[in-house]
């Protein structure tokens, strides 16, 4: 594939908008109709509740230093070898909105004579609610490490048959055998990313040693944004407060201290929160914006006419303090086209197709071939933003968010609510 | 004869409740049941592994801790949500003031002075309803952004550009007023339209000027319509959360609806969200009862 930055199809791409402006509408539905219906649905799940409500989950919580091999049950076996791919009808994908290149999906549909459809979600709670709807069937889903264990426990996803996935070997070795799913039994990785600071290089005079300090700089008041994501925002503040042993901490004092620092930002710079760094920094609405590394790649296509990517900058901490994350691909148990689902998974791990998908959504698949040098040489990333490419060493040393107990999650959320209430 | 009349009476007696049946069912299905579900969530502390609340359907098992905390956090000055409630009240108040200042003259003009153009004016008032609320708010983002048309227009008069969207209360209040203005005008228009023309003529015949006629005849007669309009506008405004998400996004302007959204969209504490919904409902119900009291008094005065 040749890459043409002027291709209009490329300009329309979006990065992972977990709560983009237009999606606020869907939140409204929650408040009105959902409030009535959701508890009714939840009542059906009564039996699976017991231990989780107390704080301990009925399954092992995966940790980078305590990898988990997810069980394969007799009642939920993988598909057999050598089956013919299903044909005709629809291939249903459950994914974040705008998180897979339309061209990739279209070509896949053409090749296998299916129409590919995406059902979008904004967060994992919503994804879980959708995948658990009785009678609903999806062929592909994108769970991160923090929801995977419970989905396996509740039989929501099926084990993979590696004989359909020869491209697994294109992956970084650690992602052929990741900590949250040893042996890649249920998932293959989709994208990897780090969290840093995106800024307008033409407005920021100098980048301090700890780039997070840019948020606390009065000079950029009114133009400072954090990610609308409690883990990313509070986690960043933890690191800035030198609380670096555990970015998932359950220590109330640490979380409070980090949140108090965030609250300073309200009066200091009138901080705002959203997940639109990829458009707001290039357009100039934001001067400094906490962001995911993929936002930089997408951001170059949101620059106003006549401006070059040199006006953008990315600050990321050193390896050991970098917060990194990944999203995975899995096949729901309810899949009607499981063979085809394996084929699409394999396609996304193909160097060419993976690159094409990356070129559209800005988020990087952990494919060995797509190194920083390769991506800059190919023109996907301007030289000044090459630090936005995530590399293997980030994952050896960096921090990552994983599944915590509901009580810890509640602690984080209550602190986030305190920040959002204006202190 | 007598028998027939009783049969007829009986039929009517059955007919009216029967006519109320669809409405009652609707109310039960779409208000009572969901509201009870909210209570069942608010008074339950349990969730399943998918972060979904497990409602406590049986009132005997209700735990009130979360709800009491929501109340104290809302109404004690040091409470986490206290500021949010104060903000919600102030924003709603000023947005209503703007609605009265703009909406009353428009409704008055449409009802009394527009003549043949009245249809056109009503159509124009209703026109925004053809466009989705979110879309209209997003349009304001384009108008108000740093290099948007509002700043360009100000530039023609030599006024320096202002960052309207950088978390300003002013913008949020105006956006709320703009969003809900049609809801305000329509009921008010209906009530102004109903005022008997002869009363105004009588006032003028008695030699009273138009300003005093307005103050002593029109305004008192439209008082109930005005209050209806205020209530209809205030209820959704107080629970609004997307307006300020779109035009501000700053913790400095968060309203109680935003806090509710935060807890309900995701996470393990949907019971806190449900608790705040209940508190909000109680506050609004208080005003609603006051309104009902006023209308009742007014109708009693009218029949006396």
* Residue pair A231/A415 in contact by the 8 Å Cβ criterion: no
Which residue carries 């009642």 as its tokens?
A: A75
Neighbours of A188 (CB within 10 A): 26
- Is the pTM value of this prediction over 0.95? no
Q: Which two tokens stand for residue A104?
A: 């990739």
Burial A353-379 (b: 16+ CB within 10 A, else e): bbbbbbbbbbbbbbbeebeeebbbeee
Provide the 10 A C-beta neighbour count for residue A35.
Answer: 21
Number of A/B CB contacts below 8 angstroms equals 180
Given A28, A272, A418, which is nearest B250 (Cβ)? A272
Contacts of B262 in chain A (CB under 8 A): 413, 416-417, 420
Q: How far apart are alpha carbons B214 and B224 in whole angstroms?
A: 15
Residue pair A401/A408 in contact (Cβ under 8 Å)? The answer is: no
Specify the 3-state DSSP secondary structure of A239.
helix
The angle, 0 to 180 degrees and rounded to 10, between the axes of the packed helices B169-194 and B82-108 is 40
Q: Any alpha helices (H) in A241-317, and if so which ranges? A: 252-269, 277-283, 293-299
Angle at which helices B256-265 and B223-239 cross, to 10°: 40
Domain A193-323+401-420: give its CATH code. 3.40.190.10
pLDDT at A13 over 80: no
Q: Which residue has the higher pLDDT, B197 or A249?
A: A249
A44 contact B CB<8A:
no
Domain ranges of chain B: 80-265
Q: What are the pLDDT digits (tens) for A272-285?
A: 999 999 999 999 98
Task: Output the CATH code of domain A8-29+60-191+326-386.
Answer: 3.40.190.10
What CA–CA distance (Å, rounded) separates A292 from A228?
A: 12
Asked if the Cβ–Cβ distance from B264 to A25 is below 8 Å, we say no
* Residue B69 to residue B66: CA distance in whole angstroms: 5
Using a pLDDT cut of 70, give the percent of chain A over it: 87
Interface of A with B in 52-91 (CB under 8 A): 52-53, 57-58
Domain ranges of chain A: 8-29+60-191+326-386, 193-323+401-420
- Taking only the tens of pLDDT, chain B with its 304 residues reads 445 556 677 777 888 888 889 998 998 899 899 999 999 999 998 999 999 999 999 999 999 999 999 999 999 999 999 999 999 999 999 999 999 999 999 999 998 888 888 889 989 988 888 888 889 999 998 899 888 899 999 999 999 888 888 889 999 999 999 999 999 999 999 999 988 888 888 888 888 888 888 888 888 889 889 999 999 999 999 999 999 999 998 999 999 999 999 999 999 999 999 999 999 999 999 988 988 898 888 888 877 6
For residue A296, give every residue at least 6 positions away whose Cβ sits within 8 Å of its Cβ, in sequence order, or none: A198, A278, A312, A314, A362, A381, A385, A388
What's the pLDDT band for A52 if we cut at 50, 70, 90?
very low
* Inter-chain touch A125–B51, beta carbons under 8 Å: yes
Is A124 an interface residue toward B (CB < 8 Å)? yes
B260/A31 Cβ within 8 A: yes
Assess contact for B40 and B57: CB atoms under 8 A. Answer: yes
Q: How far apart are CA B111 and CA B222, in angstroms?
A: 12
Query: What pLDDT does A156 receive?
Result: 97
Q: Which of B274, B208, B283, B227 is nearest to B47 (CA)?
A: B274
| Residue A38 forms contact with B (CB below 8 Å) | yes
Where would I find the H helices in B118-269?
Answer: 118-126, 133-144, 149-156, 169-194, 197-205, 210-213, 219-221, 223-239, 242-247, 256-265
Q: What three-state secondary structure class fits A404? A: coil
Placement of tokens 């008032």 in the chain: B125
Distance from chain centroid for Cα B83 = 21
The CA-to-CA distance between both ends of chain A, in Å, stands at: 50
Per-residue pLDDT averaged across A44-52, rounded? Answer: 37
d(CA A235, CA A412): 10
* Distance (Å) from the alpha carbon of A196 to chain B's nearest alpha carbon: 20
> What DSSP string describes B240-304?
--HHHHHHT--GGG--HHHHHHHHHHSSS-HHHHHHHHHHHHHHHHHHHHHHHHHHHHHHHHHH-
Q: Kindly list the distances between the CA atom of residue B50 and the CA atoms of A43, B45, B88, B256, B263, in Å, as whole numbers in the listed order.
A: 12, 14, 32, 26, 15
CATH class of B80-265: mainly alpha
Contact A221, B252 (CB under 8 A): no
Do A8-29+60-191+326-386 and A193-323+401-420 have matching folds?
A: yes
């Amino acid at each position: 594939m040749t890459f043409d930055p002027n291709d209009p199809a490329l300009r329309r791409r979006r990065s992972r908008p977990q709560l983009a402006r237009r999606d606020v509408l869907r939140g409204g539905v929650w408040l009105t109709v959902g409030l009535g219906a959701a508890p009714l649905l939840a009542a059906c799940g009564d039996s699976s509740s017991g231990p989780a409500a107390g704080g301990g989950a009925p399954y092992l919580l995966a940790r980078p230093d305590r990898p988990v091999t997810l069980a394969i049950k007799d009642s939920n076996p993988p598909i057999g070898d050598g089956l013919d791919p299903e044909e005709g009808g629809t291939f249903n994908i459950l994914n974040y909105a705008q998180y897979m290149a339309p061209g990739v999906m279209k070509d896949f549909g053409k090749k296998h004579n299916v129409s590919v459809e995406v059902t979008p979600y904004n967060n994992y709670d919503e994804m879980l609610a959708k995948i658990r709807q009785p009678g609903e069937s999806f062929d592909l889903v994108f769970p991160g490490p923090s929801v995977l264990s419970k989905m396996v426990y509740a039989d929501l996803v099926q084990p993979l048959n590696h004989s359909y996935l020869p491209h697994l070997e294109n992956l970084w070795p650690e992602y052929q055998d990741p900590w949250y799913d040893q042996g890649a039994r249920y998932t293959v990785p989709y994208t990897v990313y780090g969290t840093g600071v995106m800024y307008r290089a033409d407005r920021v005079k100098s980048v301090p040693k700890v780039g997070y300090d840019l948020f606390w700089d009065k000079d950029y008041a009114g133009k400072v944004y954090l990610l609308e994501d409690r883990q990313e925002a509070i986690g960043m503040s933890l690191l800035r407060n030198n609380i670096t042993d555990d970015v998932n901490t359950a220590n109330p004092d640490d979380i409070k201290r980090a949140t108090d620092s965030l609250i300073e930002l309200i009066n200091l710079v009138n901080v705002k929160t959203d997940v639109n760094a990829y458009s707001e920094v290039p357009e100039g609405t934001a001067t400094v914006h906490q962001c995911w590394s993929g936002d930089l790649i997408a951001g170059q296509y949101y620059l106003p006419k006549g401006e070059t990517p040199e006006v953008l900058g990315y600050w990321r901490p050193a390896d050991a303090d970098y917060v990194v994350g990944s999203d995975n691909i899995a096949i729901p148990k309810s899949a009607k086209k499981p063979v085809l689902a394996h084929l699409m998974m394999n396609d996304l791990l193909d160097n060419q197709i993976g690159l094409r998908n990356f070129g559209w959504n800005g988020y990087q698949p952990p494919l060995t071939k797509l190194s920083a040098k390769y991506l800059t040489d190919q023109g996907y990333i301007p030289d000044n933003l090459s630090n936005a490419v995530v590399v293997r060493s980030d994952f050896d040393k960096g921090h990552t968010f994983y599944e915590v107990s509901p009580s810890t999650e509640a602690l984080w959320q209550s602190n986030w609510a305190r920040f959002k209430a204006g202190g | 004869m007598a028998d027939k009349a009783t049969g007829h009476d009986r039929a009517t007696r059955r007919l009216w409740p029967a006519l109320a049946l669809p409405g009652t069912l609707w109310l039960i299905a779409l208000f009572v049941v969901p509201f009870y579900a909210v209570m069942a969530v608010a008074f339950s502390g349990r969730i399943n592994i998918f972060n979904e609340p497990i409602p406590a359907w049986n009132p005997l098992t209700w735990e009130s801790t979360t709800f009491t905390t929501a109340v104290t956090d809302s109404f004690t000055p040091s409470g986490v949500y206290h500021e949010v409630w104060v903000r919600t009240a102030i924003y709603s108040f000023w947005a209503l003031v703007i609605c009265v200042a703009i909406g009353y003259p428009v409704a008055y003009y449409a009802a009394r002075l527009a003549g043949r153009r009245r249809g056109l004016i009503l159509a124009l008032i209703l026109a925004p309803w053809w466009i989705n609320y979110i879309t209209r708010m997003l349009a304001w983002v384009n108008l108000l952004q740093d290099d948007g048309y509002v700043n360009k227009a100000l530039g023609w008069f030599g006024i320096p550009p202002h960052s309207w969207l950088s978390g300003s209360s002013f913008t949020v209040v105006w956006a709320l007023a703009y969003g809900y203005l049609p809801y305000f005008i329509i009921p008010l228009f209906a009530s102004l339209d109903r005022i008997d023309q002869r009363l105004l003529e009588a006032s003028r015949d008695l030699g009273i000027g138009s300003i005093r006629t307005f103050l002593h005849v029109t305004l008192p007669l439209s008082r109930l319509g005005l209050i209806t309009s205020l209530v209809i506008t205030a209820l959704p405004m107080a629970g609004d959360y997307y307006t300020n998400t779109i035009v501000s996004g700053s913790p400095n302007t968060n309203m109680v609806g935003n806090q509710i959204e935060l807890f309900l969209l995701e996470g393990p504490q949907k019971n806190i969200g449900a608790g705040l919904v209940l508190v909000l409902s109680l506050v609004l119900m208080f005003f609603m009862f006051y309104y009902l009291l006023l209308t009742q008094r007014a109708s009693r005065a009218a029949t006396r």
